[in-house]
């Protein structure tokens, strides 16, 4: 099942994607898609609905973040060995954990805005993991049972802010628009093995990132288990699990985003995002 939220920013409605890829309106069944709708019980109830029984959404509405009221947006760094190598960093012995501000969340096709004064804004296609039930110090064996589903994330990063202004990565990870998520949330039952998914990202029509989650250093199950030791994972939390090689920082010479650039990125079975890069604009 593919769950979506569509409509103007801040006014999104819940929906699901039918077999033809069309949006069906779920607002007569649930008021939104958020933490309260992510339990196995509720997802099983939604899965029993025949999509053709729901109103068809006409046109091509904007798609928002497929999940409302995200509590924590957790990032994992250097989780592909070949990406660590291109960044000139050692392969981590334990997962590197950082936080992305929830204020950076944006729809999958919303513009990416360069921060004021930015010179090193970069792209990162990643597998996002959405928590469905409370996870506190869970075992690796049980970890995936706490996952509601998966989604595409672009972990947009400003490298100067991240790496040249102290030891904390968060400053380069949480700028406005730096967290495109979607186009939809694909429930766990449709992703039997999250370690066998192709990822890619095109910059201005040229393939720059290509990888597979099988080359992750730490698996999704390992990450959920590990992070749950240090913080309780709640329904609606998102973990974005690292990126394969091909980021701008690793190019020779390095290449970073500029106004007018176009990004297209996706993950096998989880859909695509499309973003235009725009200049900074004050709120």
pLDDT at 86 over 90: no
Q: Which whole number is the average pLDDT over 73-78?
A: 96
Give the pLDDT of residue 207.
98
The verdict on 82 and 48 lying in the same domain is no
Structural domains in the chain (count):
2
The verdict on 82 and 47 lying in the same domain is no
Residue 283 lies in a domain: no
Q: How confident is the model at residue 175 (pLDDT cuts 50, 70, 90)?
A: very high
pLDDT at 205 over 90: yes
Residue 180 lies in a domain: yes
| pLDDT over 90 percentage in the chain | 94
The verdict on 9 and 146 lying in the same domain is no
Domain that holds residue 20: 2-53
The verdict on 82 and 129 lying in the same domain is yes
pLDDT at 162 over 90: yes
| pLDDT single digits (tens) 263-280 | 999 999 999 999 999 999
Residue 177 lies in a domain: yes
The verdict on 47 and 160 lying in the same domain is no
The verdict on 39 and 120 lying in the same domain is no
Give the pLDDT of residue 166.
84
Distance CA 124, CA 145 (A): 27
Residue 61 lies in a domain: no
Q: Which whole number is the average pLDDT over 117-130?
A: 97
pLDDT at 87 over 90: no
| pLDDT single digits (tens) 181-202 | 999 999 999 999 999 999 999 9
The verdict on 146 and 241 lying in the same domain is yes
Give the pLDDT of residue 84.
79
CATH of the domain at 105: 3.90.850.10
The verdict on 49 and 106 lying in the same domain is no
Residue 109 lies in a domain: yes
The verdict on 106 and 149 lying in the same domain is yes
Residue 266 lies in a domain: yes
The whole-chain average pLDDT of the chain stands at 96
- SS3 letters across the chain: CEEEEECCCCCCEEEEECCCCCEEECCCCCCCCCHHHCCHHHHHHHHCCCHHHCCECCCCCCECCCCCCCCCEEEEECCEHHHHHHCCCCCCCCCEEEECCHHHEECCCCCEECCCCCCCEECCEEEEEEECCCECCCCCCCHHHHEEEEEEEECCEEHHHHHCCCCCCHHHCCCCCCEEECCCEEEHHHCCCCCCCEEEEEECCEEEEEEEHHHECCCHHHHHHHHHHHCCECCCCEEECCCCCCCHHHCCCCCCCCCCCEEEEEECCCEEEEEEEECCCCC
| pLDDT single digits (tens) 132-146 | 999 999 999 999 999
The verdict on 240 and 121 lying in the same domain is yes
The verdict on 78 and 183 lying in the same domain is yes
| pLDDT single digits (tens) 210-259 | 999 999 999 999 999 999 999 999 999 999 999 999 999 999 999 999 99
């Amino acid at each position: 099942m593919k769950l979506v939220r569509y409509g103007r920013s801040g006014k999104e409605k819940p929906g699901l994607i039918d077999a033809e890829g069309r949006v069906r309106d779920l607002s007569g069944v649930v008021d939104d898609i958020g933490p309260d709708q992510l339990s196995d019980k509720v997802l099983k109830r939604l899965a029993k609905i025949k999509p053709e029984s729901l109103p068809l959404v006409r046109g091509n509405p904007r798609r928002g973040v497929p999940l409302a009221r995200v509590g924590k947006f957790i990032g994992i760094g250097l989780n592909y060995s070949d990406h660590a190598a291109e960044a000139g960093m050692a392969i981590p012995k334990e997962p590197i954990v950082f936080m992305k501000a929830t204020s950076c969340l944006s729809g999958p096709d919303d513009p990416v805005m360069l921060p004021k004064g930015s010179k090193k804004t970069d792209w990162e296609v990643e597998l996002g993991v959405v928590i469905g039930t409370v996870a506190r110090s869970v075992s690796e064996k049980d970890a995936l049972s706490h996952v509601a589903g998966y989604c595409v994330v672009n972990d947009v990063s400003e490298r100067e802010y991240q790496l040249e202004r102290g030891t904390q990565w968060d400053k380069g990870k949480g700028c406005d628009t730096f967290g495109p998520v979607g186009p939809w949330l694909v429930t766990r039952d449709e992703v039997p093995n999250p370690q066998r998914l192709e990822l890619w990202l095109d910059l201005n029509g040229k393939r720059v990132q290509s990888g597979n989650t099988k080359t992750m250093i730490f698996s999704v199950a390992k990450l959920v288990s590990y992070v749950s030791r240090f913080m309780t994972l709640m329904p609606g939390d998102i973990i974005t699990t690292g990126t394969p090689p091909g980021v701008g920082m690793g190019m020779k010479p390095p290449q970073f985003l500029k106004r007018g650039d176009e990004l297209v990125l996706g993950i096998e079975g989880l859909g695509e995002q499309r973003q235009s890069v725009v200049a900074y604009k004050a709120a």
